[in-house]
């Protein structure tokens, strides 16, 4: 909760700064007079490393407790070696640079450098995003474009609505602002759709989960944002004084800030790449349970099927939308705001009442080999490379790569009569993002509360698996949990370890050991994965 709130505030600060930077480089005749002084901008800059410090603190505490280090020693280790610490240090350095630029507020070159500096802050945040981890450079470009477009749009609204005096010449302001917003909306839409296609390929089924609920709410709030934008476009073209629409701009900026908070809470969760698999580690969202109190099992998924109540709510949404359009030119801001937000609300309720749980078909086919059982999950052209098989009496654990990219651990059932293999539902954990072979070591820990990986007799099961290519002298690993340490062997360059606990645990710090037991390297945790797909 606290991390989500800090993330939302961070996005708002970014937007505020980029809005200030945009207005600083716009000629005086085409913008309102800014009321925000350098002291206020300096305060916003100082908030950035502080808001990012919560995530840094979480990692430092884990390292401190598991290695019995002082806080200072743990902090220096994380800042030097861990991606979260390295990212925080880069952000801190850039904010100091921007603070120095505030000492020269009237210089044109300073305004341009300030704009570039704020862009660097956004780039640094995008580099550790879900999109970047899943798609590499392509994801980085898409996520940067998405965040920059939203920050430019909402940030300028924030600055004009709350940090500037009313502008008397709305037409001059409209000439550049409206074009900028249209471009921002276009970039936001295209990049958002491309990212969603990769991060949440099962859009409707994801509505059962918290991530999917937040994503749906974001999309529905996009509707009133567009309506507000259209209203401002019409009023500015009519050469009305900006004081007439300033209250409307403020309301639109508040809706945009709500979207930022939803985005922040989404970034603190693992995207449901495979919804059926994710259900084994994550319960349905509380907002989904309001409409479907019976919940959803790991053997079900959602499908869109219009119902009577759902259709009624969708009709009410259309009425609200029509009222919003008819009141675009009306002075009454209350009628326009109420009707546009009501349209989004009824649209949400209508969609929630129109989704129905359906059973997932379970593959009961018996396969003569492990290879055949694994291949059945994928298309025929998919390349599967099995790295490790660990067979017990009833199941076999398989670690394999998909197209020399994704890294997967999966359980298969064994038929006691024929010794054939069969696929189990909710039995697969996947590490995506960059290719597993592109990193010297790739290790992840998943927290499981349901499904095939859940061990009986405990509340939580932690599955850690990975591939070690460097250092080459590694032959075994020692995993340090908060209540003890465990050793596991490296086989064919891979390993896995299953751990049970009645309380929630942090991801183990892992020592890489040589044949003689000496430590040759160490893996610092980035956090426990709550879903079944991560990067």
Query: Are the beta carbons of 530 and 269 closer than 8 angstroms?
Result: yes
Q: What per-residue confidence (pLDDT) applies to 129? A: 64
Q: What are phi and psi of 400, to 5 degrees?
A: -150, 165
Query: What averages of pLDDT result for each successive group of 10 residues across the chain (535 residues)?
Result: 75 91 87 84 89 81 70 82 79 89 79 87 73 67 87 92 80 86 92 85 87 93 92 75 76 92 81 71 84 79 85 93 85 86 94 84 83 88 92 92 91 90 86 82 86 81 92 93 88 92 83 92 78 73
The answer to whether 122 touches 61, Cβ cutoff 8 Å, is no
Report d(CA 344, CA 216) in Å as an integer. Answer: 11
C-beta separation of 478 from 511 below 8 A: yes
Q: Would you state the pLDDT for residue 417?
A: 86
| pLDDT computed for residue 239 by the predictor | 60
Question: Residue 120: which residues within 8 A CB-CB, separation 6 or more?
Answer: 94
With a CB cutoff of 8 Å and minimum separation 6, the contacts of 151 are 11, 14, 15, 18, 19, 122
Quote the tokens at residue 502.
Answer: 């009645």
Helix H or strand E segment including 245: helix 242-267
Query: Can you give the pLDDT at residue 149?
Result: 92
One DSSP character per residue, 88-138 reads: HHHHHHHHHHHHHHTTSTT-HHHHHHHHHHHHHHHHHHHTTSHHHHHHTHH
Closest of 212, 376, 361 to residue 278, by C-alpha: 212
Check if the beta carbon of residue 457 is closer than 8 Å to that of residue 451: no
Residue 242 has a pLDDT of: 61
DSSP H or E segment with residue 213:
helix 210-237
Whole-number pLDDT of residue 393: 85
Q: Who's near 89: CB < 8 A, 6+ residues apart?
A: 79
Question: Are 383 and 402 contacting, i.e. CB atoms less than 8 angstroms apart?
Answer: yes
Q: List Cα–Cα distances, 523 to 252, 425, 440, 477, 527, in angstroms.
A: 45, 31, 11, 10, 12
């Amino acid at each position: 909760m606290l991390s989500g709130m800090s993330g939302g505030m961070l996005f708002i600060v970014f937007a505020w700064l980029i809005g200030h930077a945009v207005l600083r480089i716009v000629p005086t005749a085409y913008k309102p007079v800014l009321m925000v002084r350098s002291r206020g901008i300096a305060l916003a800059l100082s908030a950035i490393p502080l808001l990012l410090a919560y995530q840094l603190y979480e990692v430092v505490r884990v390292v401190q407790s598991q290695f019995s280090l002082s806080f200072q020693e743990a902090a220096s280790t994380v800042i030097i070696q861990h991606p979260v610490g390295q990212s925080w240090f880069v952000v801190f350095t850039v904010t100091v640079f921007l603070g120095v630029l505030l000492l020269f507020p009237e210089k044109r070159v300073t305004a341009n450098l300030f704009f570039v500096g704020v862009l660097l802050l956004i780039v640094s945040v995008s580099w550790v995003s879900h999109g970047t981890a899943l798609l590499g450079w392509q994801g980085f470009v898409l996520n940067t474009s998405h965040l920059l477009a939203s920050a430019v749009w909402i940030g300028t609204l924030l600055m004009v609505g709350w940090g500037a005096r009313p502008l008397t010449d709305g037409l001059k302001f409209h000439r550049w602002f409206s074009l900028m917003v249209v471009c921002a909306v276009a970039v936001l839409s295209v990049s958002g759709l491309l990212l969603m296609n990769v991060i949440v390929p099962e859009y409707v089924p994801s509505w059962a989960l918290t991530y999917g609920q937040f994503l749906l709410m974001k999309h529905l709030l996009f509707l009133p944002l567009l309506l507000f934008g259209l209203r401002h476009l019409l009023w500015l073209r009519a050469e009305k004084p900006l004081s007439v629409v300033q209250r409307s701009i403020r309301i639109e900026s508040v809706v945009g800030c709500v979207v930022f908070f939803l985005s922040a809470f989404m970034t603190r969760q693992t995207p449901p790449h495979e919804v059926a698999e994710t259900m084994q580690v994550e319960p349905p969202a509380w907002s989904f349970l309001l409409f479907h109190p019976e919940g959803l099992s790991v053997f079900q998924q959602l499908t869109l099927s219009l119902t009577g109540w759902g259709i009624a709510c969708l009709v009410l949404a259309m009425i609200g939308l029509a009222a919003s359009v008819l009141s675009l030119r009306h002075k009454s801001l209350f009628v326009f705001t109420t009707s546009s937000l009501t349209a989004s609300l009824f649209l949400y309720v209508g969609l929630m009442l129109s989704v129905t749980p359906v059973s997932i078909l379970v593959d009961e086919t018996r396969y003569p080999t492990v290879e055949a059982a694994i291949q059945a999950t994928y298309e025929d052209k998919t390349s599967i490379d099995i790295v490790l098989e660990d067979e017990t009496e009833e199941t076999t654990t398989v670690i394999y790569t998909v197209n020399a990219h994704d890294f997967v651990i999966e359980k298969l059932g064994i038929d006691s009569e024929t010794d054939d293999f069969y696929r189990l539902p909710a039995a697969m954990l996947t590490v995506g993002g960059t290719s597993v072979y592109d990193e010297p070591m790739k290790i992840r820990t998943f927290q499981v509360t349901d499904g095939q990986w859940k061990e009986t007799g405990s509340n939580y099961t932690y599955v850690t698996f990975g591939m070690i290519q460097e250092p080459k002298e590694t032959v075994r690993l020692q995993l340090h949990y908060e209540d003890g340490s465990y050793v596991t062997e490296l086989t064919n360059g891979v390993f896995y370890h299953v751990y049970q606990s009645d309380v929630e645990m942090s991801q183990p710090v892992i020592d890489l050991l040589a044949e003689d037991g000496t430590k040759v390297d160490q893996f610092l945790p980035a956090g426990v994965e709550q879903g079944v797909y991560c990067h």
